[in-house]
Structure 1
């Protein structure tokens, strides 16, 4: 069976150490970005496509008693998140092995949902974001972080990148409101919405 061109660019789990590269951390400034996007202490948080926990760990540190859900299709990624949370003494993170379009969380679970550098890899974006809407609590917030259209030397090829306008329309299309765009460093942007 022939691979579709976009399938050839799915992130290779074997390269997961790249996700914690100091330059990527510098570009994304996870803790600062979460605070700027409105994540606050006590809020439940779902990191969809959490990878190695670049945002999961700072969210757990910010949240205090808030429950953190690290959601990923890769058991290797989830194992890494578990190891990092244990090493830091964080006991508010629950790893969740998802199956693509089923995040395996109850309805209205999360006050804040983050989808960072994942949406461009998803084939059925409305279905994926519809699942995010399902788990988002009333008045909850979603933040989709993606690569800027211009190539900043990191991320997927330029032809795979999602324009911010497209992400805005996708979020509106599944039912999020109050859509806003925010720059995230020099290489990324965030589009946020409210349920």
Structure 2
């Protein structure tokens, strides 16, 4: 049985305010994605990015990956409602994803690095999944001074430059690293 805290978290993710979301198309427009690719939304939550990704890779596959089964249940429901047959859901551990090495063309890490205890380890795990010339997209919250009005606490946010350096240390080439919205940044890199 889910705890009250997990139910509250699911409810907050299913009913975000405008400041807590961004248009998934703004991320998709910046990545070198093709309609026949195999991509993963790591830390998918209820699927608000997985569904647009699956629509874009209509001739490929979108893996919605999360540590919480109840989140993946929502992804499946949304995929069925949208009549998408190319979404696969996978339960993962925090820094261990049950997919083969070099099995994906692209990976999205959106609003998930600030939730993990070891963000660089999760980036390394995502890199393991990517084929040569595969792409990675990281969307996270910009740092703030004092108490954050929206998003995670200032102390939980991951620094853009540190995440970019972690990706580049794994041999990736940064394609773009910039502010995506008033509250978020994006890093897109290729293996």
TM-score normalised by structure 2 residue count: 0.88
Compare 168-177 and 154-163 and name the one that shifted more. 168-177
Cα distance in 2, alignment partners of residues 60 and 160 from structure 1: 29
Alignment RMSD, CA only?
2.0
Aligned length: 185
Please say which of residues 93-102 and 147-156 is displaced more in the overlay.
147-156
Contact 1:47-1:69 at 8 Å conserved across structures: yes
1:146 to 137, 140, 147: 140
**Residues 140, 186 of structure 2: 8 Å contact kept:** yes
Please state if 1:127 is matched with 2:106.
Answer: no
Match of 2:46 among 42, 52, 65: 52
The residue number in structure 1 matching 2:59 is 65
Richer in helix (by share): 1
* SS in structure 1 at match of 2:109: strand
Q: Distance in 1 between matches of 2:103 and 2:11?
A: 29
CA distance in structure 1 between the aligned counterparts of 2:142 and 2:116, rounded to whole angstroms: 17
Secondary structure of 1:36's aligned partner: coil
Which 5+ residue runs of structure 1 have no aligned equivalent? 1-10
Instruction: Kindly report structure 1 stretches of 4+ aligned residues shifted beyond 6 Å.
Output: none
Structure 2's unaligned 5+ residue stretches are none
**Which residue of 158, 161, 174 maps to 2:157?**
161
Are 2:40 and 2:63, in contact at CA under 8 Å, matched by a contact in 1? yes
Residue deviations 1:19-38, cap 9 Å, x none? Answer: 24353488410123212333
User: What are the residue-to-residue correspondences of 1:1-195 with 2, within 5 Å?
Assistant: 12=6, 14-21=8-15, 23-24=17-18, 27-150=21-144, 153-178=149-174, 180-195=176-191
Do the aligned residues in 1 keep the contact of 2:138 with 2:188 (CA within 8 Å)?
A: yes
- Residues 109-155 of structure 1: per-residue CA shift (max 9 Å, x gap): 21110001111122222321111111011101001110011276321
Contact 2:120 2:163 in 1 (8 A): no
